[in-house]
Amino acid sequence: MAVARLLLTPARLRITRLVQRRCLSDSSVDHLSSALERYKDLQMYFKKRLKATYRRFSDISDYSVVSGHHHVYFIEADGVYRMDQRQSELEPEQVLNLGHISRREENTGLDNEERKQTSQWTVQRIRLSPQEKHLAATLKMDHREEPRCVVVRLPPQDPPNIVFTLDKVFSFEWATDEVLFYTILEGLRCSRVFRLDLNSSGSRITSMYEETHSDVFVEVALSRNRQILSINCNSRTASEVLLIDATTSHLEPFLVQPRQMDLLYHVEHWRRWLIILANTGPGQEYQVVQAPLSEPSMVSWVPLFTPNPGTVVKDMDVVGDHCVLVARAPAGELVLIVVTLTHPKEAYTVQLPSWACAIEIKKAGMAEQDSMLEFLISSPVRPPVPYRLYLEDGRLISGTKDGSSPGNHSNYTTTRLEACSQDGTLVPVTLFHTLPVEGLSQAPLMVHVYGAYGRDLNMEFCPEKRLLLEQGWALAYCHIRGGGERGLSWQRQARVEGKHRGVEDLQACLRHIFSSGVSSPSLTALAACSAGAVPVGALCNRHPHMMRAVTLQAPFLDVLGSMEDPSLPLTLEDREEWGDPVGNPKHRLSISSYCPLHNITPQCYPSVLLTAYSGDARVPLTGVLKYTEQLKNAIHTHSAMKPKSESEPAPNIVLNIQPGANHLGPEDFELMLEEEALKLAFLYAELSLDIPRPPRKRKR
């Protein structure tokens, strides 16, 4: 269970140029092409380097394999396969062929180009029914947001074949071998839960739940022991959970605790009890409480475990008789806290390696050992390493002999800093580097930031970051307020009228990094995606000389315009985060003070690369286009105002519009490489860095 899901629920192939022409004139398209052309040679070079880097880490550990009673299921480019664990010498058996689904598109009347686009499916998630009679899988195409779900009947009853197809399925779980619960993605909302019954005489779909609040997102999930299915209804500020006991025959939902403002909770199951992670602890932070399954409401909640001050719970799982919490300690490092449910006062803490920045818990298999937890730990520059935690005695054992991951990591250092913000708040910064800090004054610096919706910065392994580190870059991750790194209060401090604090935090982080002897503004680039563009764009308006270059992906830049427009799919929901400028004058004043688009002024800005997607419903393209145009105009005005003797090189403002609707970027490997290679080419060109050359192999 991911706590971030309580706050935000929260992942393009080429489509016709018609969409792009609707947004831009022919002359604008030509201008964009010429702006990108200057980086073409460098982009080709870095694409080769990136491909080689990905190849080096192609065999890293992951948990994409799903374990059944006797088979393991895994995803390949052309579908889903399974292997019999009892007969390992047998060849893998394909149970879902994506080519068969693509051929179904051929009779839809699409032209050749459109048919080519619709045939490119990728598998997102798979779910097995309890006795492996059926497999359900969601499939995704880059050019549209909504996934498709296919249900496959598995051997030995019959050869594997698709027995049912459902469009726009977001979350889905099996309650029995014949009953699948699922939610439908409508626009960017999930508000309805359905039940699919499969039997020998046919199938039946029944509506089970419909949410009436427009700011609530609905998901279905299955407890780790597979006995309880939950319907989770979450807004930014409140939760409501309904449960279905999968061990009974009627499968009717019942309510845990009615929704109330500022109450967030998530439910797991243990024996005949509910183990609940709720923000009922000191300071409205998360603690673990317990309630009988028969009396689940809040009046029955009994505190089971409350973390020490400064320790923040990020995730919870119930494994056998143990509740395992992923937590962040006061210094920022990840730890595991194990609460023995039969003796909750005997909780103990497991220290993880100091470099660990991200953790992935292995999803429970059909025949899981309930005395052991398997997980992966990683960092942006360190590939995942498998670990096993034996819960009875707290033994932590690495899946590798020395706890290492592929590649040499001996020269890479993780340093945790704290920057003092304008109001005295200490803001954590995670720094990755190869040289000692005192030797980083001439190193190029890449700064990452997000700071919204209570979400932590993504710090999973990324081959692109590893490549930068190997080329002598320092990488900084600024955990500003608005994110969730230091708990729910960390987000609350930078919501609505407190949004300016995130901008102040980012400024403080940069100043602290520079004062520590790391890099300089002329060698510094900022990177952000989506809502992370807000503090970056605001800082560029206020202090443009603090960085030389900026890369923004699917950037949210017109906060004021978006919050004024209730017709946009996320506006009503997002007003809990940004405020309501229509109904509240104070909110309007606050947003107007930092909104990147509405505070552009004639001055010398850093160079900016903006990557946007023409079909992205989360961040409308119009806001990105307005920002780009106004920024270019401001730079031109500033340049015209200065005497020629004082003129300085004009920054490059580059807009890279890609077709597709995937807000998180392309899933196609080649398209992803092109996009990332362009970013690297842009950074090296704008920071005037020498092009790194790989070491030549010695001739024998």
- Point out the residues that are catalytic: 530, 616, 663
The dihedral through the CA atoms of 515, 519, 523, 529 has a sign that is negative
CB 494 within 8 A of CB 501: yes
Residue 617's nearest CA partner among 562, 550, 672 is 562
Q: Phi/psi zone of residue 584: left (φ > 0), alpha (ψ -120 to 50 degrees), beta? A: beta
CB 184 within 8 A of CB 145: no
Structure tokens at 106: 């051929």
d(C-alpha 687, C-alpha 296), whole Å: 58
Structural Rg of the chain based on CA atoms: 26
- Give me the DSSP letters along 568-619: STTHHHHHHHH--TTT-HHHHHHHHHH-TGGG--SS-PPEEEEEEETT-SSS
Under DSSP, the state recorded for 481 is B
Q: CB-based contacts of 625: which residues, under 8 Å, 6+ apart?
A: 23, 24, 655
From the CB of residue 578, how many other CB atoms can be counted at a distance below 10 Å? Answer: 23
CB 670 within 8 A of CB 23: no
CB 229 within 8 A of CB 214: no
Helix (H) or strand (E) holding 621: helix 621-641
d(C-alpha 206, C-alpha 366), whole Å: 27
Distance between terminal CA atoms of the chain?
Answer: 54
CB 612 within 8 A of CB 624: yes
d(C-alpha 126, C-alpha 148), whole Å: 12
